[in-house]
Amino acid sequence: MQSVEKRYLTIRQTARAVGIPEHRIRAWVKVKNVPGFYGGTRFYVDVQKFQQLLDEGRMNGETI
């Protein structure tokens, strides 16, 4: 059986996975800079696209 990596994670799971504070990701979600979608009241981050933005240093003009 192959290992399947989750593409979408909650903000808390994403923060733990990429090592960025949860409050920082929530602030970026608020200004619509994080790729993902709302499922009810919970936001799901597209982790692959988010990591790509971090690697390119394109999160709200901030250098990480």
Cα angle at 53 between 23 and 33, to 5 degrees?
50
Q: Where are the beta strands (DSSP E) in 1-64?
A: 8-10, 36-39, 42-46
Tell me the pLDDT of the chain (64 aa) as tens digits: 454 567 999 999 999 999 999 999 999 999 988 999 999 999 999 999 999 999 888 775 554 4
Q: What is the pLDDT of residue 18?
A: 92
Where exactly are the structural domains of the chain? 8-56
